[in-house]
């Protein structure tokens, strides 16, 4: 992508008094000017007019939608989102957007990190229900949610910007395409199993691993999927799916490597 300008156009914020409005205008303007579509490589993504209920940007070429979440400082393990029930409904809908997660350096008015999370990484177990608002709150009883970033596999956190350094465009697109097979899995629970096993493989921390090392996560997977009484069988099945989809390479009996 060459040298990317990470600084916000501070002049745009002069017409706003609210800090949240200022940063929204600055970050949305920067994304619109600077970021390409990771799905098709289109050099320009467009901003929806205010009022679009589920997304902030779209690609005119491939029709992918993107929602932007911004935070001062590091993003952390979770991101505050909207209504819990609405988010769960979106997981099975056709209009669930991909997520841009941007954290910024307020002192220098510039981007520190920008990650895109493909929409097919969003499953119910990464959505945390928040406590209802108190009886004295304006929206008493309203229930929000958090997105648990720590429960999303690293392969689903695709960097545009990392520590103020821009990633090459071809790397962003390659990393996006690597797990496109998840998009084809429409059944939420089946996708959840694949993502959980991918997360276990990442936790092993080695490009090459054995089946026995994945078995060590049996108790964790059993807790997440209490309805399944044959966890080891399910692990083997998921490894085979990941192999067939090109995510893993089969080396020899009980031995695999990441591609």
For residues 36 and 53, give the distance between their C-alpha atoms in angstroms, rounded to a whole number. Answer: 22
**What are the pLDDT digits (tens) for 199-256?**
999 999 888 999 999 999 999 999 999 999 999 999 999 999 999 999 999 999 999 9
- For the full predicted model, state whether its pTM sits above 0.75: yes
Structural domains for the chain:
10-177 (3.40.210.30), 188-258 (1.10.10.10)
Show the CA angle centred on residue 249, arms to residues 247 and 252, nearest 5°: 150
Q: How confident is the model at residue 53 (pLDDT cuts 50, 70, 90)?
A: low
Closest CA to 205 of 216, 193, 189, 194: 216
Q: How confident is the model at residue 7 (pLDDT cuts 50, 70, 90)?
A: very high
């Amino acid at each position: 992508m060459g040298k990317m300008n990470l600084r916000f156009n501070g002049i745009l914020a002069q017409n706003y008094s609210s800090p949240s409005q200022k940063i929204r205008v600055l970050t949305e303007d920067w994304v619109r000017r600077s970021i390409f579509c990771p799905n098709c490589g289109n050099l320009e993504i467009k901003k929806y007019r205010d009022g679009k209920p589920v997304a902030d940007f779209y690609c005119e070429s491939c029709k992918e939608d993107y929602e932007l979440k911004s935070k001062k400082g590091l993003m952390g393990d979770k991101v505050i989102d909207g209504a819990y029930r609405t988010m769960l409904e979106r997981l099975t809908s056709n209009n669930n957007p991909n997520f841009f997660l941007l954290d910024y350096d307020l002192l220098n008015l510039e981007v520190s990190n920008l990650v895109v999370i493909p929409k097919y990484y969003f499953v119910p177990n990464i959505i945390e229900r928040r406590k209802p608002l108190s009886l004295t709150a304006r929206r008493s009883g309203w229930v929000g949610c958090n997105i648990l970033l720590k429960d999303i596999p690293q392969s689903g956190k695709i960097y545009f910007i990392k520590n103020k350094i821009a990633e090459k465009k071809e790397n962003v697109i390659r990393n996006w395409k690597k797990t496109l097979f998840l998009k084809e899995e429409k059944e939420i629970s089946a996708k959840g199993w694949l993502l959980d096993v991918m997360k276990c493989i990442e936790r092993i921390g080695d490009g090459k691993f054995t089946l026995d090392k994945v078995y060590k996560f049996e108790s964790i997977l059993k807790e997440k999927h209490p309805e399944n009484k044959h966890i080891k069988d399910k692990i083997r099945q998921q490894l085979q799916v990941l192999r067939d989809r090109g995510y893993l390479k089969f080396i020899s009996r009980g031995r695999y490597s990441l591609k």
